[in-house]
């Protein structure tokens, strides 16, 4: 049975990869998100637009990356 931290680290890595795939599949950049979801400044578009969606998705990616980095730092040196 794997140590709990290893399992947690693996789950974080899977979530990190999934989030990056999500971003790539939905435009890959702010401009790509705007092309897909519309711009906040577009009067015919409802909502905050692709800019806000991209910012939220990137924030989640950064949070996952930070959590993964912390989990790796807590691992014993030989287990990394």
pLDDT tens profile 54-74: 999 999 999 999 999 999 888
> Are 48 and 33 a contacting pair, CB within 8 Å?
no
Q: How many CB atoms lie within 10 A of CB 53?
A: 20
What local confidence, expressed as pLDDT, does residue 43 receive?
83
Say if residue 76's pLDDT is above 80: no
What local confidence, expressed as pLDDT, does residue 34 receive?
94
What local confidence, expressed as pLDDT, does residue 6 receive?
63
């Amino acid at each position: 049975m794997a140590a709990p931290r290893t399992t947690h680290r693996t789950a974080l890595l899977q979530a990190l990869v999934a989030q990056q795939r999500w971003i790539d599949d939905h435009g890959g950049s702010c401009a790509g998100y705007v092309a897909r979801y519309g711009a906040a400044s577009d009067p015919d578009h409802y909502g905050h637009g692709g800019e806000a969606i991209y910012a939220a998705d990137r924030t989640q990616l950064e949070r996952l990356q930070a959590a993964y980095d912390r989990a790796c730092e807590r691992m014993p040196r030989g287990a990394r």
